């Protein structure tokens, strides 16, 4: 191994591989490696790191030769504040926090120095396997496991596990699955897999493995801190933070599948106004257009959208429209975009990537020309009418088949970069709106990647079922998204897929979900409500009239009793405006999410690292959602301190678990006093 000392960096070379470890902001290191020179994209690490001065050195250590003698072998070391890395003579990296080992690469070869384990397995720390016929590699990076470690973050996976230790996670984007590869460890470090390649991570009991299916470079970042709050602060300083959220968007967002005419939208808005309920935003969902990729209103059902927008603005209501990345062959934009190479390419067979309600190919947002083309069309057909924001749906993208080896972007094969697709898609609108002088370009997306927060992304959890099991999954998903650096996260209240809106079990679920959403970043009513017995508006096979719609989904749509409960919680949301604004400001300044696991605020309390069915809304409110059907009481753990239940004058001493009532109109919430 050859060691080279650079300013703030340690460079190591062995057997054709170049390894570079350098200081990357406060108490942080960036680690890159390639079979050749190191360079390339910054990917998530776009921000200029805080200037630090690392200590870089080369020394020697005793190595057992095997005949009873020892030999001196070189090692390299880099120290940046509280984090340090040591590279031994075969390139194995060990990481330390305050001189205590926190992470070490897995290495089981005879020439290694980690001689307390089997040396005959021939398993190495960084395995580069050439992709046949290409210049990329299939890369596997291995680490020793840490006994007792808990792992959080990594984005959103539809499962019951909050602690990811023991889980195998696909590093790929799907509808309701969001790969954001930043993890927070209970041992006081954070780790970013800074690679948008499709792959897999295994947080096994016996090994940790990160895999990229097609890449040219290993790239990861590690940071340390006293707790998750400090770790998130360090990480988001390197990857970027969310902008300031508009203060007039912190109330209720109204949506359904789907408003089919401009008169329907206006009627709903007027009815809310008559009820004395202010909605901050109304959303016009899909197939208000002619065909996918036209990105414009169907004039038959939206004859004067500017007049509609003007009336909504007069009520103080912002307007959001749905935009999909899919382009139907019948679209007026298909031919020009295909000719100019602005669509995704397929590696074999027909040129089709998506087949819902049309024969479609999706846009290639990795191409700057694509982003400009799409924004120019949407500026002309939407923004010029006064449309405020965009719902960038299907942003994974939602492939007809998730065969990532079948698709190619201008950036390269989808296997090498597909996880970045939703971020590039959002940039088409964020950058276009910013260039047009918009000070608050926020948009709603179904997917994200590391660093997406800096592009004004409100991310929702996808098309999830309307079940209590799915509801429980959303809680851990939202908490882990926040720990992955994405603070603006929301859900479809009540879930997306409902068979029967009159089912009492669904209505109970809706109320419990609404209560939870009040204590989250965005309060948003949406869902595909069955039964599907509403006839289409016409018999055309395209346009705004032919596709089905769901049942009504306004606050008053579920009976007077439920309306009264939702109205109560709506009023709570409105009363918390200043507090919620302070949380958004905190997210902008420090990277802290709005909803937080208990250990985020109480890292010294061991019990808080074990509790995942309650959470903190900011630093003041402890929220204990009701996550099961017909559950009208539950246990709540109160950490040390004094707590007062909302709606009560009684103060409780913390450090105890209490059983509290939870009637249908009251979710347990405690405030620190």
Q: How far apart are CA 247 and CA 596, in angstroms?
A: 21
Strand 218-224 relative to strand 28-34, pairing:
antiparallel
Question: Catalytic residue among 280, 393, 601, 666, which?
Answer: 393
Tens digit of each residue's pLDDT (9 = 90 or more) over 43-52:
999 999 999 9
Contact status, residue 378 vs residue 295, Cβ threshold 8 Å: yes
**Neighbouring-strand partners of residue 20:** 11, 32
Shortest CA distance to 578 belongs to which of 121, 247, 307, 83? Answer: 247
DSSP assignment of 242-267, as one string?
A: --PPPGGGSSEEE--TT--SHHHHHH
Contact status, residue 385 vs residue 302, Cβ threshold 8 Å: no
Fold adopted by 597-672: Immunoglobulin-like (2.60.40)
Count of C-beta atoms within a 10 Å radius of residue 158? 19
Strand 621-623 relative to strand 669-672, pairing:
antiparallel
Question: Catalytic residue among 170, 463, 554, 646, which?
Answer: 463
Q: What is the pLDDT of residue 70?
A: 67
Could you tell me the residue ranges of all domains in the chain?
Answer: 2-239, 247-323+371-392+422-592, 597-672
Handedness of CA 368, 371, 374, 379 (dihedral sign): negative
Give the CA angle between residues 174, 175, 179 to the nearest 5°: 45
Q: CATH second-level architecture of 247-323+371-392+422-592?
A: Alpha-Beta Barrel (3.20)
Q: How far apart are CA 551 and CA 533, in angstroms?
A: 9
Q: What is the pLDDT of residue 113?
A: 54
Shortest CA distance to 522 belongs to which of 245, 268, 156? Answer: 245
Q: What is the pLDDT of residue 71?
A: 79
The answer to whether residue 364 is catalytic is: no
Contact status, residue 97 vs residue 224, Cβ threshold 8 Å: yes
Residue keyed to tokens 């990594």? 154
Handedness of CA 467, 470, 476, 477 (dihedral sign): negative
Q: Which two tokens stand for residue 180?
A: 């954001």
Residue keyed to tokens 């709050």? 229
Contact status, residue 158 vs residue 474, Cβ threshold 8 Å: no
Q: What percent of the chain has pLDDT over 90?
A: 93
Q: What is the pLDDT of residue 544?
A: 83
In 381-522 the beta strands, taken as DSSP E runs, fall at: 389-392, 407-409, 412-413, 443-445, 457-460, 489-490, 497-498
Q: Which CATH number fits domain 2-239: 2.40.110.10, 2.60.40.10, 3.90.1520.10, 2.60.40.1760?
A: 2.60.40.1760
Strand 279-284 relative to strand 318-323, pairing:
parallel
Q: What is the pLDDT of residue 208?
A: 98
Given this chain, do its domains 2-239 and 597-672 carry the same CATH topology? yes
Rounded to the nearest 5 percent, the helix, strand and coil shares of the chain are 25, 30, 45
Given a cut of 70, the residues of the chain with pLDDT beneath it are: 63-70, 111-117
The answer to whether residue 463 is catalytic is: yes
pTM value > 0.95: yes
């Amino acid at each position: 191994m050859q060691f080279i000392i650079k300013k703030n960096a340690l460079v190591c070379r062995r057997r054709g591989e170049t390894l570079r470890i350098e200081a990357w902001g406060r108490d942080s290191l960036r680690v890159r490696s390639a079979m050749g020179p190191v360079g390339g994209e910054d990917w998530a690490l776009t921000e200029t790191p805080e200037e630090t001065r690392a200590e870089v050195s080369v020394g020697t250590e005793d190595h057992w030769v095997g005949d009873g003698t020892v030999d001196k072998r070189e090692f390299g070391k880099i120290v940046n504040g509280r984090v340090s890395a040591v590279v031994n003579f075969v390139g194995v990296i060990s990481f330390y926090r305050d001189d205590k080992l926190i992470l070490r690469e897995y290495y089981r070869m005879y020439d290694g120095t980690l001689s307390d384990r089997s040396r005959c397995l021939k398993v190495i720390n960084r395995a580069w396997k050439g992709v046949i016929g290409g210049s990329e590699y299939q890369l596997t990076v291995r680490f020793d496991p840490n006994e007792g470690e808990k792992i959080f973050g990594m984005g959103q996976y539809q499962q019951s596990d909050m602690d990811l230790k023991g889980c195998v996670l696909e590093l790929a984007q799907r509808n309701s699955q969001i790969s954001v590869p930043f993890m927070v460890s209970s041992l006081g470090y954070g780790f970013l897999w800074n690679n948008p390649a499709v792959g897999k991570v295994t947080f096994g009991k016996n090994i940790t493995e990160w895999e990229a299916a097609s890449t040219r470079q290993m790239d990861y970042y590690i940071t340390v801190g006293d707790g998750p709050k400090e770790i998130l602060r360090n990480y988001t300083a390197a990857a970027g933070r969310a902008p300031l959220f508009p203060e007039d968007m912190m109330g209720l967002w109204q949506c359904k599948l789907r408003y089919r005419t401009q008169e329907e939208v206006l009627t709903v808005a007027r009815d809310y106004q008559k009820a004395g309920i202010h909605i901050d935003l109304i959303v016009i969902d899909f197939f208000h257009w002619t065909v996918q990729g036209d990105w414009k209103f169907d004039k038959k059902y939206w004859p004067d959208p500017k007049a509609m927008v003007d009336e909504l603005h007069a009520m103080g209501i912002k307007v959001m429209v749905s935009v999909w990345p899919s382009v139907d062959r019948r679209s007026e934009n298909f031919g020009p975009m295909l000719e100019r190479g602005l669509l995704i390419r397929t590696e074999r067979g027909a040129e089709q990537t998506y087949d819902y309600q049309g024969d479609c190919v999706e846009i290639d947002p990795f191409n700057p020309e694509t982003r400009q083309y799409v924004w120019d069309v949407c500026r002309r057909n939407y923004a010029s009418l006064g449309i405020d924001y965009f719902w960038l749906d299907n942003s994974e993208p939602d492939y007809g088949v998730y065969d990532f080896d079948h698709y190619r972007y201008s950036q390269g094969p989808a296997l090498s970069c597909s996880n970045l697709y939703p971020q590039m898609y959002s940039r088409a609108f964020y950058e276009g709106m910013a260039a047009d002088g918009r000070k608050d370009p926020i948009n709603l997306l179904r997917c994200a990647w590391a660093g997406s927060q800096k592009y004004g992304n409100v991310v929702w959890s996808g098309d999830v079922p309307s079940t209590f099991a799915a509801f429980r999954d959303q809680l851990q998903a939202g908490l882990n998204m926040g720990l992955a650096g994405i603070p603006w996260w929301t859900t479809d209240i009540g879930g997306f897929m409902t068979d029967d809106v009159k089912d009492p079990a669904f209505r109970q679920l809706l109320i419990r979900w609404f209560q939870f959403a009040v204590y989250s970043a965005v309060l948003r009513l949406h869902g595909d409500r069955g039964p599907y017995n509403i006839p289409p508006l016409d018999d055309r096979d395209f346009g705004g009239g032919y596709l089905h719609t769901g049942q009504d989904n306004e606050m008053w749509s579920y009976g007077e009793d439920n309306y009264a409960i939702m109205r109560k919680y709506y009023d709570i949301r409105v009363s918390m405006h200043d507090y919620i604004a302070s949380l958004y400001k905190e997210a902008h300044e420090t990277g802290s999410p709005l909803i937080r696991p208990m250990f985020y605020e109480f890292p010294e309390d061991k019990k808080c690292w074990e509790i995942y069915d309650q959470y903190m809304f900011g630093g003041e409110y402890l929220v204990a959602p009701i996550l099961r059907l017909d559950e009208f009481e539950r246990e709540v753990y109160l950490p040390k301190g004094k707590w007062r239940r909302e709606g009560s004058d009684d103060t409780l001493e913390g450090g105890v678990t209490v059983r509290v009532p939870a009637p249908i109109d009251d979710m347990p919430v405690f405030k620190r006093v």
